[in-house]
Structure 1
């Protein structure tokens, strides 16, 4: 049977509709399924062209040079058509050229680009070049490719902006497109869009926002880069939340970021590349993740608006560096994108300043005499959300006030640069460290440990900086942040007993924590109690001076999942005083002080120091402390300590008096 062109087109469209029913969205006679039809359904009304960087002289110099701080147009197509393929390969001396070179695309003579993305992020990795092979956009053995169909009615212009600060000596490209007969495309054609966003430090309670778009279209996915400040993957505990057409509750609500990328358990089996989802990079040492999820079979349509957001950790509790490239189609016009961040603000993190860092702008400065302290604004590229403090005089003192702990481990993060010399750091006239800060350009020097320091009785700590002129004749210091870590001393010894049952209906309906087992009523150490499966239980002593996962409750109990245990000890205070109790637990816990409940927490989490704090009053003499801890599944631990600014608390499970 002879197949006519009309029949062939009908068959192709039918196959496309079956393949991509999720993208089908007919309004006003338009059919969106043709976007991803293979082969392209309008071949009978199309002519194929390729624009490339070939050597027009007939030689083999098939590339272009892009001068520093310049923009070149590599394609300027007139008339109706569709781009079907883009391919690049690049030679740049800039180690961060993936973030410092921009790709821009304009449709139909628009004033603002519909695509504006750092070139590495567009093709799948902003950290470094990573071979990975998703179906529509990726990196393949030195090349960069994109097969997203990109229709246009009047024309298309593609620009490359070199913001590396130096010449790009070799930029190769090929752009494949169909020139179409006028009127081939629907009047309400959806145009391809891509937008890049970055929050260098997600230290806020709201979700990270990857995309806010208004109009009529459909979302087809994103590329993601994440890096924490504490080298932990806990930020993956966040969920994706996608709001469509003004929803107050998202119609897409996830279970974790690695789950969104169709993986699990913190990407437990490492990197992989699939057609529509993949893990391009997993750097467990630094917590870096690059991943992609392309919603082609499961595109998300919107009629009025879409908001694509990601939690940074459970409840947005993790500070991390998030960057995303989002891909979507919509009918023009689109709202202009925010102004693209500068190249320094796009550079990947090279210095990890922990979550609990204190910026110098939060500190009081005591300059001697006529010394002046200058605030030079954002340092970049690694600490853009806080200010750098620079002094170009001989000495100054930073004052940290209202400190509540008796001792702190103090670390300082500093920068080197052309204006900096040799700095000596002192506390109470005692030298702590020396810093040689001169360098040809402003750059991170890293962490300098100052050791354990004790605030005075008023909770004040003064750290003095003295500048010495070196051979360069420079003086001064560049200070990025302080990190004060309390010298945590956990309650050192306990009597433990368990396991008791932790019955449950679901993860959020567990009854053990609020079931008063016999040790809660009597802490007599010689008494035997009945635990899980009728096993006889007795108190036993643990005195290793450790806390949390160092103590590891799972090693003491069998079984250790879905159980309740008790921990009992005493605290001696020479006088009545108010102090703070700090606790972290995996999972829920209760705390009783002198037989009164002072704390209750019921949720699933991983224990960490000082997750919660409670103001408590210790009576003069011995105070009885009872902790009730429950485990759901997995890890099992708790951290518990008290602030002790006067250094006069004493702990003993057997009430042994202080020496």
Structure 2
């Protein structure tokens, strides 16, 4: 049997000829005709030995690249051996194009590669720290000359600097090309006046990347509520919805660190309130024709205080506006100790020297008991220092540090009774950076509470109408009483214990929790009649009575914060009834109360005749 095959060859060939060419592959440029001349520059040992690194003396610099153009730097890789723990900030990287004297790149080494806090492995598409080495693949074109310099500001020798640079020379660059720029900007302590500036550039170009190294002074991440804002060519072009949103994350980076090709979180420390994050605008560069200004808030409406350091990476035509000079190496350091917000810096204190002793005076907001904390400064020439609150015992601390003007761990001096100001005596070579007087928080912890009672929602207003109504627990606060609560249900006083922070969290006690109110009742014992101050935090509105007298009230939406409301009251000798009404709009619902007690004689109880200080 003879097999016959259909004559389809011509048809298939004609069909193939009519098909469009396949799309180009992502790496098709690799087999295109080569252009330019490859060159590899490194710290290799030119004698053939294994001394493949350079050493940089203290205060000196090293030129990694100095070459004529035209060309493009394709890869930069470095690694450093330094005995200085702060070398990531005190070693600087600078780049100069076309023979300029003001650099186009000026940054601490660690921040340029995304992380000035610590050396930590992460690998993004164009930049990273890959198991010990820093790399950058951002192209850096130049027409006439390229110069790359490393400056040693550590105050001691850099024991080893290894580097590799790969470039292509004698290449034709496109007309009007932009050169590479990078700028480090730090606000060591942000203020409420303005957002943090990431970039202010003039000329024509495009933003291609941003990194952020930030640390809170309150040891939390509330600064992440800040939004980025773009002003392009003099026109406002939009505002973001939160810092972590800008970095393509969410909910305060709740799933932790990661390294993506375009965005990532290198560091997250909830205890310190610290993050290091990056975003590469490679798929979504931000073009500008004559100017670009990019800012980011530190918290909602710049309400948080933090240490902000950012890197902006961009390309633009020359000449560029001169970059501000980098701060001195010591001013770039990551603080090992952060002075909290409540501390008062030295330049805000009244002080005078009396022989070998310096006396500093710190006012306090009210008579109370305070824990006094000193934030000392040390250096190589320091030795032991003695701090003493007038009338109290002294505390000796060793203030020796490897570097001058180093902020050292806090020295607590214990709790003292203060009427109007803390008087600190110090026998010390270097004055401390700050002093803090923290009120001793002895909370009312045992309470009776009753609720919930209705407080209907007033549309368009954040008020609680029932705060202005006289309800049954105000008329008859007897702990044996019962009342009609929400939906007419019978409610009774119940005993509860506040948390370690003094907060009575009503959302854990009552249902429902929105548009309602509840009462809390405790007793305060005083051995004698006289004035004192109650300190209250309440979420949301409140009314407070002492011995039946209405002494404080506030409507609106609030959070329960320690010592938020100061209430002058007069106590009777013996037990004093404290009754508080706390309304909730929606969300959180809590309160906390304490009494200023400079003599340490007051005590709280859930009922008369009980309790402790």
TM-score w.r.t. the length of structure 2 is 0.82
Does the 8 Å CA contact 2:454/2:485 hold for their aligned counterparts? no
**1:243-254 alignment runs, 5 A limit:** 243-247=231-235, 251-254=238-241
Look up the SS of the partner of 1:325 in the other structure.
strand
Does the 8 Å CA contact 2:71/2:168 hold for their aligned counterparts? yes
Q: Distance in 1 between matches of 2:47 and 2:508?
A: 75
Does the 8 Å CA contact 2:368/2:597 hold for their aligned counterparts? yes
**Correspondence for 1:556 among 482, 491, 509:** 509
**Correspondence for 2:439 among 482, 486, 493:** 486
Which consecutive residues of structure 1, in runs of 5 or more, have no partner in the other structure? 2-6, 17-36, 372-392, 468-474
**Correspondence for 1:289 among 270, 275, 281:** 275
* 1:554-573 deviation per Cα after TM superposition (whole angstroms, max 9, x unaligned): 3212455x453323447889
Does the 8 Å CA contact 2:65/2:146 hold for their aligned counterparts? yes
The residue that corresponds to 1:638 in the other structure is 591
Does the 8 Å CA contact 2:205/2:314 hold for their aligned counterparts? yes
**Correspondence for 2:266 among 248, 267, 280:** 280
1:404 maps to 2:366: yes
The residue that corresponds to 1:113 in the other structure is 103
Q: CA deviation at 1:282?
A: 1.7
Does the 8 Å CA contact 1:205/1:315 hold for their aligned counterparts? no
Q: CA deviation at 1:546?
A: 5.5
Q: How many residues align?
A: 581
Q: Distance in 1 between matches of 2:368 and 2:331?
A: 38
Does the 8 Å CA contact 2:551/2:569 hold for their aligned counterparts? no
1:225 maps to 2:179: no
The residue that corresponds to 2:247 in the other structure is 261
Q: Distance in 1 between matches of 2:604 and 2:83?
A: 60
**Structure 1 residues 42 and 361, CA, compared in 2 at 3 Å: closer, same or farther?**
farther
**Structure 1 residues 75 and 11, CA, compared in 2 at 3 Å: closer, same or farther?**
farther
Q: CA deviation at 1:311?
A: 2.2
The residue that corresponds to 2:184 in the other structure is 196
Q: Distance in 2 between matches of 1:625 and 1:448?
A: 39
Q: CA deviation at 1:110?
A: 1.9
**1:34-113 alignment runs, 5 A limit:** 39=29, 45-113=35-103
* 1:419-451 deviation per Cα after TM superposition (whole angstroms, max 9, x unaligned): 545444334443142234456754444222111
**Correspondence for 1:213 among 201, 207, 223:** 201
TM-score w.r.t. the length of structure 1 is 0.77
**Correspondence for 2:387 among 425, 435, 445:** 425
Does the 8 Å CA contact 2:457/2:464 hold for their aligned counterparts? no
The residue that corresponds to 1:565 in the other structure is 517
Q: CA deviation at 1:216?
A: 2.4
**Structure 1 residues 340 and 490, CA, compared in 2 at 3 Å: closer, same or farther?**
same
Does the 8 Å CA contact 1:513/1:628 hold for their aligned counterparts? no
The residue that corresponds to 1:323 in the other structure is 309
**Correspondence for 1:363 among 334, 349, 368:** 349
Does the 8 Å CA contact 1:219/1:329 hold for their aligned counterparts? yes
**Structure 1 residues 359 and 80, CA, compared in 2 at 3 Å: closer, same or farther?**
same
**Correspondence for 1:416 among 364, 369, 378:** 378
Does the 8 Å CA contact 2:446/2:606 hold for their aligned counterparts? yes
Q: CA deviation at 1:38?
A: 8.2
Q: Distance in 2 between matches of 1:623 and 1:247?
A: 60
Q: Distance in 2 between matches of 1:549 and 1:643?
A: 14
The residue that corresponds to 1:627 in the other structure is 581
1:514 maps to 2:502: no
Look up the SS of the partner of 2:283 in the other structure.
coil
**Structure 1 residues 518 and 656, CA, compared in 2 at 3 Å: closer, same or farther?**
farther
The residue that corresponds to 1:238 in the other structure is 226
The residue that corresponds to 1:30 in the other structure is none
Does the 8 Å CA contact 1:80/1:154 hold for their aligned counterparts? yes
Which consecutive residues of structure 2, in runs of 5 or more, have no partner in the other structure? 1-12, 14-19
**Structure 1 residues 454 and 340, CA, compared in 2 at 3 Å: closer, same or farther?**
same
Look up the SS of the partner of 2:112 in the other structure.
helix
